[in-house]
Amino acid sequence: GENVEQHPSTLSVQEGDSAVIKCTYSDSASNYFPWYKQELGKRPQLIIDIRSNVGEKKDQRIAVTLNKTAKHFSLHITETQPEDSAVYFCAANAGNMLTFGGGTRLMVKP
Binding stretches for another protein (CB under 8 A): 1, 31-32, 34, 36, 42-46, 49, 89, 93, 95-103
In the complex, least distance from residue 17 CB atom to another protein, rounded to whole angstroms: 26
* 23 close to 76: Cβ distance less than 8 angstroms: no
| Cβ closest to another protein, residue 19 vs residue 36 | 36
| Cβ closest to another protein, residue 34 vs residue 66 | 34
Q: Is 69 helix (H, G, I), strand (E, B) or coil?
A: coil
Give which of 21, 28, 20 is closest to 68, Cα–Cα: 28
In the complex, least distance from residue 33 CB atom to another protein, rounded to whole angstroms: 10
* 52 close to 31: Cβ distance less than 8 angstroms: yes
| Cβ closest to another protein, residue 78 vs residue 100 | 100
- Report CA dihedral (36, 41, 43, 44) to the nearest 10 degrees: 10
In the complex, least distance from residue 85 CB atom to another protein, rounded to whole angstroms: 18
